[in-house]
Amino acid sequence: MNNDKKNLLSTNQLTFLLTGFTLGPGFLRLPNVVVKEAGQDAWISGIVGLIYPLYIVLVSSYIAKKHSKENVLTLSRRYFGNIVGNILNIIFMLQFVLYTSTIASEFIRILEVYIVAFLTPIKICIVGVTLALYAAYKGLKVLGKISELISYILIFIIIFSVAACKYGDMLNLQPVFSTRIIDILNGIKSTCYCYTGFESVLLFYSSVYDVSTIKKASLKAVLIAGSIWVWTIFITIYYLGIDIIPKSYWSFIMVFESIHIPVINNFRYVVMFAWILIIVRILANYYFSSAFIINDMTGIDIKQVCLIMYPLFLYLPIKFKDNILREKILNFAVPRFVIFNILLITLLALMIFIKSKAYQKSNINQKTLNTE
C-alpha cells in the first residue's frame, strides 16, 4: 500500500470533507433568516443562492486543474507578490478563525438550551473545542475519515425529517412566486452565512489522491449540501408556516418534534446527539484550516499551532455568546468576506488564465521561430 494513497484524501472523502465545512449549526437557523425576508418563497432563495457555492467550486476546480500541486496560499504569493499575497492569506485565515468562534458559540447556545442546561458555557466550550483540537491534531486524513462517517449519520437523520410531511400542508407554501424579487434577493443575501465554507477546497485540493476528480467531487458536495439546505427550508415552511417560524429561534428542530416513535419521548434528542457529532466535526475542520494557514505562513509545525491556538478558541466563543456582538460582527464581516472570496478567486483565475495564454503564445512563437 503506497504511502500516498494512505495519506491523501480519496475522492469520497473530499466530497464529505467539503460538506463538513458547510453543513454546520447555521442551517438549524436557516429557515428563520430566509423566511424573514422572503416569506413562503424562501426555498426559491435557497435554490438561487446556490450560485455562490457553485461559482466558487467551478472556479476552484479550474485553478486546481492548472496548478494541482500548490494550494491557494502559495499561488496568491506567486501571482500577487510576497507581501500582498501574505496579506491576502491573512484575511483568508481571519474568516476561518471567525467562523470557528461563531460555530463554537452557536454550539454552546444550542446545547445550553436543549440538552445540558446544567453546565456552564465555559465547560461546554472546553469539551467541544478540546474534541476539535484532538481531531485537528491528528491531521487531514483523519478529518476526512470522520467527515465521511459523520456525514452519513447526518444524511440518515435528515431522512427522518421526511416524517414531518404527514403533519404539514402544501397550503403553507402557497401562494408560490408571489413575493417580490427584491425580497428574494434579500433572502439570498441572508443565506450567505450558511453557504460559506466551500473556499476550503482551495486549501486542500493538493492533498487529494486523484486530482482529476476534484471537480466532480466538489460538485457532488455542492449537490449534497444544497439539497439538504433547500429541503430544510422547504420542510420547515411546509410544517410550520411562515408565521410560526420566527417564534422559534431554531425552527428546524421543531420539525423533528413532530415525529412520534413509541419508546423515545421526543425525537429531538436523537437529532441532538447526532448534532453534537456534526458540530464538532465542522469545528475540527475549521480549526485545522486556521492552523494550516498559519503553518503555511510561518512554518511552525502544525501540531504546535493547534495547541497554541487552543486558548484563543476557548476565549472567543465565550465572547461571541453575546448575541448582539455576534450579530454585529457577522453582519459586518460575512458579506465582505464573501465578496473578498469571490474577488480573490476570480482574480487568481484570471491571472492564471492570462499567464497560461501568454505561455501558450510564447510557445507558439518559439515553435514558429524554430521551424523557420
Tell me which residues touch other proteins (CB under 8 A): 1-2, 6, 39-40, 111, 113-116, 118-120, 123-124, 127, 131, 134-135, 138-139, 142, 145-146, 149-150, 171-172, 174-175, 178, 239-244, 247-248, 254, 257-258, 260, 262-266, 269, 272-273, 276-277, 280
What CA–CA distance (Å, rounded) separates 303 from 312?
15
Q: Supply the minimum distance, in Å, between the C-beta of residue 87 and other proteins.
A: 34
Q: How far is the CB of 260 from other proteins (least distance, A)?
A: 7
> Residues 141-177, buried b or exposed e (16+ Cβ, 10 A)?
eebbbbbbebbeebeebbebbebbeeebeeebbeeee
**Residue with Cβ nearer other proteins (149 or 308):** 149
User: Least distance to other proteins from the beta carbon of 49, Å?
Assistant: 22
CA 52 to chain centre: 12
The string of DSSP letters for 298-316 reads H---HHHHHHHHHHHHHHH
Is 118 or 371 the residue whose CB approaches other proteins more closely?
118
Q: Which is nearer to other proteins, 73 or 233 (CB)?
A: 233
Instruction: For 359-372, give one letter per residue: b (16+ CB within 10 A) or e.
Output: eeeeeeeeeeeeee
Query: What's the closest the beta carbon of residue 180 comes to other proteins, in angstroms?
Result: 12
DSSP state for residue 208 in the 8-state scheme: B
Cα 185 from Cα 180, distance rounded (Å): 9
Q: Determine the Cα–Cα distance for residues 141 and 165; give it in Å rounded to an integer.
A: 38
Q: How long is the chain?
A: 372
Nearer to other proteins, 83 or 181 (CB): 181
The nearest distance, CB 25 to other proteins, in angstroms, is 14
Nearest-approach distance from CB 2 to other proteins, in angstroms? 8
* Residues 96 and 288: beta-carbon distance below 8 Å: no
In the complex, least distance from residue 103 CB atom to other proteins, rounded to whole angstroms: 15
Nearer to other proteins, 60 or 285 (CB): 285
- All 3 cell numbers of residue 143? 478529518
